[in-house]
Amino acid sequence: MRNLTKWSGLQTGCTMAKNGIEAGRLEAAQYTQGFADIHPPLSPHEAYVEADRCYFCFDAPCQKACPTSIDIPLFIRQILTGNELGAADTILSANILGGMCARVCPTETLCEEACVRETAEGKPVKIGLLQRRATDAALDKAEADKTHPFKRAPSSGKKVAVVGAGPAGLSAAHRLAKLGHEVTLFDARDKLGGLNEFGIAAYKAPNNFAAREVDFVLGIGGISPKAGQKLGENLKLKDLRNQFSAVFLGIGLASVNKLGLRGENKLHGVEDAIEFIGKIRQAKNLAKVAVGSSVVVIGGGMTAIDAAVQAKRLGAAEVTLVYRRGPAEMKASRYEQELAKISGVTIRFWAMPSKLHGTDGNVSGVTFETTELSKGKLMGTGETFKLKADMVLTAIGQLLVPDDFGGAEVLALRGGKIVVDEGRATSLKGVWAGGDCTAVGEDLTVSAVEDGKQAAIAIDRALRG
């Protein structure tokens, strides 16, 4: 597990807004400290020492645990011999977003958990930080030399539409361009990157890293980005199928689950956690981002943790994260749970929201009912407790919007997501999909990258007959 450093934000005694939500709670230095890179990069010497710990296992379990199947022993050996760019080539050939994945992947439950050093000593090789060391070197060189480490194949004469410029879409677009196809990359937002740009904690990818990586991906050439193009509005799946040889959908999950409680849509201070995170990520001055004094976050995934920790680091006096099940059932990893606690977040398990309270149109508290498992089913116990709150952030899952592509009559769905085969082909001829919008894999950046890669390989095979 990665090292965790104690962090605490100090209140400055700023004047509170009437509803308790206020910007500028901290001194400038505290924002800098709280949102600094949570995992500073390894120095050359640190990287060498860490790489030397690797056993370079044959049939390495760490590689099997990586969703993109990066040859981890090879790239670590390359780092050990001083060949960081060679290591980057090994990584990026399997995962073109290896830089971001090195920052946000739950390596403690993937490659590092599988590391034989973890099994033997409880101290795995720091694979994520070594991956970052190599990919950062490649990105720095590409920016300095205005080059790209990969070259495109001769033109195939085929045009492919990629809808969604998140991890899955970027991965698919890059691989398709590398294989010689012309790609048009559509995205609903005015800035590319998807959740990498708008949906993860700012301290995980500071210094505009997500945008830098997008530029790196586009640097291969053959990819024409078109922002502000939303499927179901100014972009129609039927038209794309007529205009392009193939279509890849990496549209993510455009809607969010609701609490289903009275006042959810009317009380000021009740906000979607993803939107809250997005505001922080896009803020040029963190002192301008408002946060409550008493914040309640509802949910148990990475989004809930990211929202809770950042609320605390923006200066909230109290942040409580409430999850309906126990710690073992949380989608957020054990590391992320510990990070929240060390950041000053209180986590309460086995409780679900039952009522929102408000005063003068502002949220003032949440009543929770405790829960338990009864014959394998989650049930309320009837016992309740109330938490005061001037801000409530909801992170209870996201939803696909089938109307954007015509619904289940157009694409087969399972569990509210798009059904795909091993090559990520949908039920509709000429259309592939990957990432969070599909009914396979985990909701992880690295899994989305693999979806995009595998779909591109399948699309190339189909287009070439």
Q: Distance between CA atoms of 62 and 114, rounded to whole angstroms?
A: 5
Which CATH number among 3.30.70.360, 3.40.50.300, 1.10.1060.10, 3.10.129.10 corresponds to the domain 44-145? Answer: 1.10.1060.10
Dig out the tokens for 334 from the structure: 């054990």
Residue 37 CB contacts under 8 Å (≥ 6 apart), including other chains: 203, 206, 207
Which CATH number among 3.20.20.70, 3.40.190.10, 3.30.930.10, 3.50.50.60 corresponds to the domain 28-34+256-394? Answer: 3.50.50.60
The hierarchical CATH code for the domain 159-253+409-463 is: 3.50.50.60
Q: What is the pLDDT of residue 3?
A: 59
Report domain extents, the chain.
Answer: 28-34+256-394, 44-145, 159-253+409-463
Three-state secondary-structure class, residue 45: helix
Only one residue has tokens 């309906």, namely 324
Sign of the four-CA dihedral 205, 206, 207, 211: positive
Q: Distance between CA atoms of 189 and 164, rounded to whole angstroms?
A: 9
Q: What is the pLDDT of residue 10?
A: 44
Q: What is the pTM of this model?
A: 0.94
Q: What is the pLDDT of residue 2?
A: 60
Contact 375, 202 (CB under 8 A): no
Q: What is the pLDDT of residue 12?
A: 42
**pLDDT tens figures, 302-353:** 999 999 999 999 999 999 999 999 999 999 999 999 999 999 999 999 999 9
Give the mean pLDDT of the chain: 95
**pLDDT tens figures, 7-29:** 555 444 444 455 789 999 999 99
Only one residue has tokens 């001083």, namely 82
Q: What is the pLDDT of residue 441?
A: 79
**pLDDT tens figures, 362-402:** 999 999 999 999 988 999 999 999 999 999 999 999 999 99
159-253+409-463 matches 44-145 in CATH topology: no
Q: What is the pLDDT of residue 144?
A: 97
